[in-house]
Amino acid sequence: MKTIAALQAVVTAAPFDGEPSDAELDAIETEMPAILADVHLLDAQIMTIDRAPTELDHQRIRRARRRVLAARRDLANQAAATVSAGAS
């Protein structure tokens, strides 16, 4: 019986050390306001899971949604400004 072996060395990625790179940490830091806004929205929604939402709950959720939209808008504007500055 013939054995089949690879003719070239095995191609593998660099070993994963479990730590994020500096670029990944910078991206997380840039997106942190949007991440925190999402967390606040989830907190507001979780508070109403096991009961009927009151008017205060509705206001809290609306406020959290506006914060999420504002944070995402700011992040998109920042990214667009970075891209347009790089194109100049």
Write down the pTM of the prediction.
Answer: 0.71
pLDDT at 49: 95
pLDDT at 36: 97
Q: What is the pLDDT of residues 25-80, one digit of tens each?
A: 999 999 999 999 999 999 999 999 999 999 999 999 999 999 999 999 999 999 99
Euclidean distance between CA atoms 66 and 40, whole angstroms: 11
Q: Is the pLDDT of residue 1 over 70?
A: no
Whether 36 and 29 have beta carbons less than 8 Å apart is answered as no
Instruction: Indicate the pLDDT class of residue 83, thresholds 50, 70 and 90.
Output: confident
What string of DSSP letters covers 32-60? HHHHHHHHHHHHHHHTTTTS---HHHHHH
More confident residue, 20 or 71: 71
Q: Is the pLDDT of residue 82 over 70?
A: yes
